[in-house]
Amino acid sequence: MANVIQPSNHVGFDSITHQIERRLLKRGFQFNIMVVGQSGLGKTTLVNTLFASHLADSCGRIDPSEDFSRTPDIKVVSHVVEESGVRLRLNIIDTPGYGDQVNNEKCWDPIVKYIKDQHSQYLRKELTAQRDRYLPDTRVHCVLYFIQPTGHGLKPIDIVVLKKLTETANVVPVIAKSDSLTLVERERFKRQLQEEFAYHKLRLYPNDSYEEYDEDDRRLNQQIKQMLPFAIVGSEKLVTVNGKEVRGRVHRWGVINVEDEKHCEFPHLRNFLISTRLQDLIETTAHIHYESFRAKQLLALKGNSAAATSSQAQHSSNQAGSTTQQQQQQQQQQQQQQHGVQPQQQAAAAAMVGASSSVTPSRSGSTQPYSNGK
Ligand SMILES: Nc1nc2c(ncn2[C@@H]2O[C@H](COP(=O)(O)OP(=O)(O)OP(=O)(O)O)[C@@H](O)[C@H]2O)c(=O)[nH]1
Ligand SMILES: [Mg+2]
């Protein structure tokens, strides 16, 4: 490694961080977050609680005469939030709850497809000849996965959906509506879920395999893993507690203050998502999930073009083979005229020529594109 030289006078290149900061502030940041889980677990409500503003319509039924109105399709709400001059473009992807149909097979497919579609859109833009300097990023940076507060561990549908989601995105699990659990139940449920995550080998966020993580990052990741899944409570309603307006849920016996960490872990989740891991979620999406998608797609593309070239080669070799076949037949006819060979024997010989001529070129056709690509 080159020697590090300390200049004797101030040169000024230490201002590069400010220069980068100014450029980044001008450009702004993009964060895409998705909420996934079974019906009625408070996904839409949490989205609005998280960013302290009404961003999506919650679908709870207020008037009994109304129909149950649920989030019907995948809905993307875009907002720009600004704090101390930092502009954050926020895409919130609210998904319809699943799991309450008679047949729940593949009900999560549209959600997984949405995530993959964003990756393929980005890849397409990246591969165009004249691409934009900054590609619009719609890749899902974080999936908040809602677990029902049953106290009995994961349901089979949770395991299936979590497996699918963790293959394509950063997944952060949360215990929904945790106000229905006592503190002891909540802790026990959390430990049980952590054991199940390990047993089913679910690669949840944070993923230690990311090579950019140093010792400190890995230590922090261990602490985060101990806290997952966050036991949250959501509410859009403002209530007055000690003369202060807070987001909370009013019960006969008192008020749950969503913002109070003694009541629930919503403040931990918000702190984790927005204050400490926002950049890491964006970066790991690009470097782990998108990279693996990109590599798979490009290898498949290469494989397809190799197959196409090989079949083309085979086709032309077959043509060459049939020409040879015709020549052979003519020769044999001449021989027959000379030596009196039977027509059946002639046909068998022609077939053999055809077969052998089709094998040889196809071998070279399939290997060539790979060596070209190297
Ligand atoms: N007790 C309790 N109720 C909640 C909580 N969060 C939301 N709710 C209520 O649960 C009901 C459903 O909330 P939504 O946010 O519409 O649920 P959802 O998961 O978006 O539902 P779908 O779109 O149908 O999947 C509403 O009446 C909410 O007020 C919570 O943390 N605790
Ligand atoms: Mg909803």
pLDDT tens readout for residues 266-306 = 988 988 888 888 899 999 999 999 999 999 988 888 777 77
Domain spans, the chain: 17-304
**Does residue 96 line the site of ligand 1, with CB under 6 A?**
yes
Does position 336 have pLDDT exceeding 80, yes or no? Answer: no
Q: What is the mean pLDDT of residues 148-154?
A: 90
pLDDT band at 325 (very low <50, low <70, confident <90, very high): low
| Residues contacting residue 114 through CB under 8 Å, at least 6 positions apart | 34, 74, 93, 95, 140
Does position 58 have pLDDT exceeding 60, yes or no? Answer: no
Query: How many A from CA of 70 to the centre of ligand 2?
Result: 6
Mean pLDDT of the chain: 78
| Residues contacting residue 254 through CB under 8 Å, at least 6 positions apart | none
Return the percentage of the chain with pLDDT > 70, whole number: 76
More confident residue, 357 or 104: 104
pLDDT band at 365 (very low <50, low <70, confident <90, very high): very low
Give the model's pLDDT for residue 192.
Answer: 94
User: pLDDT digit string (tens) for 9-22?
Assistant: 888 888 888 888 88
Q: Which of 34, 36, 41 to mutate to test the pocket of ligand 1 (most atoms within 8 A of CB)?
A: 41
Ligand nearest to the CA of 36: 1
Q: Which of 39, 58, 107, 251 to mutate to test the pocket of ligand 1 (most atoms within 8 A of CB)?
A: 58
**Does residue 36 line the site of ligand 1, with CB under 6 A?**
no
- Alpha carbon distance 149, 128 (integer Å): 47
**Does residue 172 line the site of ligand 1, with CB under 6 A?**
no
Residue nearest to atom 23 of ligand 1 (CA): 71
The residues with which 75 forms a beta bridge, in sequence order, are 94
**Does residue 58 line the site of ligand 1, with CB under 6 A?**
yes
Query: How many A from CA of 39 to the centre of ligand 1?
Result: 8
Residue nearest to atom 27 of ligand 1 (CA): 60
Pairing of strands 86-94, 75-83: antiparallel
Does position 163 have pLDDT exceeding 90, yes or no? Answer: yes
pLDDT band at 339 (very low <50, low <70, confident <90, very high): very low
Tokens encoding 100: 């309450």
Tokens encoding 203: 């690669």
pLDDT band at 356 (very low <50, low <70, confident <90, very high): very low
Q: Which of 82-91, 191-200, 261-270, 293-302 has the lowest mean pLDDT?
A: 82-91
Does position 176 have pLDDT exceeding 90, yes or no? Answer: yes
Does position 362 have pLDDT exceeding 50, yes or no? Answer: no
Q: How many CA atoms does the CB half-sphere of 264 hold within 13 Å? A: 27
Query: How many A from CA of 46 to the centre of ligand 1?
Result: 8
Q: What is the mean pLDDT of residues 39-48?
A: 87
Q: What is the mean pLDDT of residues 219-238?
A: 89
Q: What is the mean pLDDT of residues 162-167?
A: 93
More confident residue, 31 or 83: 31
Buried-exposed string 303-313: b where 16+ CB fall within 10 A, e elsewhere: eeebeebbeeb
**Does residue 141 line the site of ligand 1, with CB under 6 A?**
no
Residue nearest to atom 15 of ligand 1 (CA): 42
CATH level 2 (architecture), domain 17-304: 3-Layer(aba) Sandwich (3.40)
Query: How many A from CA of 237 to the centre of ligand 1?
Result: 12
pLDDT band at 201 (very low <50, low <70, confident <90, very high): very high
